[in-house]
Amino acid sequence: MIKTPDCAWNLRDLQNVPKRGIKVMSTFACGGGSSMGYKLAGCEVVAANDIDPEMAWHYQKNINPLHYFLSPIRELLDTSLPAEVCDLDILDGSPPCSTFSMAGSREKAWGKRKHFREGQAEQVLSDLFFDYLDVVEMLRPKVAIAENVKGMICGNAKGYTKMVMQRFKQIGYVPQLFLLNAADCGVPQRRERVFFCAIRSDLARRSLKLCPKMPWVTAAQATADLQELTAEEIIATAPGTIVKRWWKKTRPGERFEQAALRYGHKPKLFNYPKLHPNLPSVTLVSQGLDQISHWSCCRSLTFREWKRLGSFPDDYVAKDEKIGKYMVGMSVPPRMTQAVANAVIDQWLLPT
C-alpha cells in the first residue's frame, strides 16, 4: 500500500491547528482557497464575500463561515456589517483577474462591462480592485492582502498596478508587491501570482520579507497514492480525440504543440500540457479542464489529483468533478496563502 504523501490534508485537520487570534475576512472568496490557507496558518476567518451563487454554495458547504455576503463587493459599502467584520486583522481579496492575464486580449478588455459567469451581475472587471480598496478604506483592517495574476506587472498593466499602489497610500497604507511561485510555498504546482501586502501606516512596522523557498513537491509525489482509479474516474478521464493523437508523441513536461511542430504540424495546442512526474504541475486553470494530461497514462487528471496539485484538502466537496476542478483552478492554492499569512503574522501582526 502506497503511503499518503505529507502534502495531503483534510478539512478536519484544521481543528488541530493552534489558533493565533488573527481575524480575517475574505472577499472574492471563490471556493475558499485563500480562506483555507488562513485557517492553516491559525487564523479565524470570520466572514467571506463573493458575487457567484455557485462559489457561495461550495464555500459554505466546505468552510461553514460565521458570516457570508452573497453580493457584489461594492454592496458591502452600504451594508450594516457585524462587529467581527469591523475589527479585522486582515482583509483578503482576489479581484477577478482575466483582464490582466497573459493569455487573451488583455488591454482590449479593460474598462468593459461583462458577465464574469452566468448568474452574476454585469461588472467592469478592471474596476473591481478599486472596489476592494474602497472596502479596505471603510473597514480599516490592520493589513490588506490582495492576490492577482503575474500579468499585472507586465506591459501596459504596470500603469494600472502603479495606480493600485498609489491608492493604497492615499487611504493610509504602506503597500509592498511580491511575485511568488506556488511551488516555492509547498504547492505541487508552478503557479506565479502577485501579492499586494499593505499594512496600516499608523502601525509602523518594518518592511515585510516574503521569499518562501520550500522544497518543491512533484506531481508524482503529490499523487502517488491516487493512481488506482475508480471505474467512474476511468470513464471521466478517458482521452478525447486530440489527446489520443498527440499524447504518445509528446514528452513529459512538453505541450502537445511542441510535439506537433516536430512532426511538421502547426496546430494551436499550447493549452495541452503533459505533466512531468518529477516537477510540480503546470498551472491548473479554470478553462480546458481536460486538456492537462497525465505523464504515464493517456488520460486527463482526476478531481482527486486536481485537489492534491492545488493543495486543496482531500475531503473538499464539489457538486461534480467539473465544477470541482473549476474551483481549484480559480482559487488561490491554500498552501500559498498559508505561506503569505505566516509571514504577515510573524513579522507584522504578532512580532516577537
Residue 262 and residue 311 in one domain: yes
Q: By residue range, what is the domain housing residue 263? A: 219-329
Residue 134 and residue 94 in one domain: yes
Q: Does residue 101 sit in helix, strand or coil?
A: coil
Residue 86: inside a domain: yes
Contacts 24+ apart (CB under 8 A), 227-235: 227/2, 229/302, 233/302, 233/304, 234/299
Residue 246 and residue 209 in one domain: no
- Rounded to 10°, the helix 334-344/33-40 angle is 50
**How many residues are given for the chain?**
352
pLDDT, residue 321, reads 94
pLDDT, residue 1, reads 77
Instruction: Tell the residue number behind the cell numbers 509592498, with chain if given.
Output: 176
Instruction: Tell the residue number behind the cell numbers 476511468, with chain if given.
Output: 234
Q: Does residue 306 sit in helix, strand or coil?
A: helix
Q: Does residue 187 sit in helix, strand or coil?
A: coil
Residue 134 and residue 251 in one domain: no
Number of domains making up the chain: 2
Q: Which three cell numbers stand for residue 320?
A: 461534480
**Global pTM value:** 0.92
Residue 226 and residue 158 in one domain: no
Residue 3: inside a domain: no
Residue 316: inside a domain: yes
Identify the CATH number of the domain in which residue 188 sits: 3.40.50.150
Cα 188 to its chain centre, rounded Å, is 13
Instruction: Give start and end residues of each alpha helix (H) in 122-230.
Output: 128-139, 157-170, 219-222
Contacts 24+ apart (CB under 8 A), 12-15: 12/315, 13/313, 14/39, 14/40
Residue 307 and residue 342 in one domain: no
Residue pair 27/332 in contact (Cβ under 8 Å)? The answer is no
Residue 2: inside a domain: no
Residue 1: inside a domain: no
The strand pairing partners of 193, in sequence order, are: 149, 180
Distance CA 25, CA 41 (A): 14
Across the chain, where does the E strand assignment appear?
23-27, 44-50, 67-70, 90-93, 113-114, 123-124, 143-149, 173-181, 192-200
Q: How many CB atoms lie within 10 A of CB 58?
A: 25
Mean pLDDT per block of 10 residues along the chain (352 residues) reads 94 97 97 98 98 96 96 95 96 80 50 51 71 97 96 88 96 98 98 97 95 97 98 97 96 96 91 97 92 98 98 97 95 97 97 75
pLDDT, residue 288, reads 87
String of DSSP letters for 42-60: T-EEEEEEES-HHHHHHHH
Residue 289 and residue 341 in one domain: no
Instruction: Tell the residue number behind the cell numbers 495546442, with chain if given.
Output: 269
Residue 71 and residue 126 in one domain: yes
Residue 294: inside a domain: yes
Residue 228 and residue 207 in one domain: no
pLDDT, residue 101, reads 52
Residue 290: half-sphere exposure toward Cβ, Cα within 13 Å: 16
Residue 5: inside a domain: no
pLDDT, residue 118, reads 47
Residue 279: inside a domain: yes
Q: Which three cell numbers stand for residue 38?
A: 488562513
Residue 164 and residue 35 in one domain: yes
Residue 21 and residue 164 in one domain: yes
Residue 64 and residue 121 in one domain: yes
The strand pairing partners of 27, in sequence order, are: 49, 93
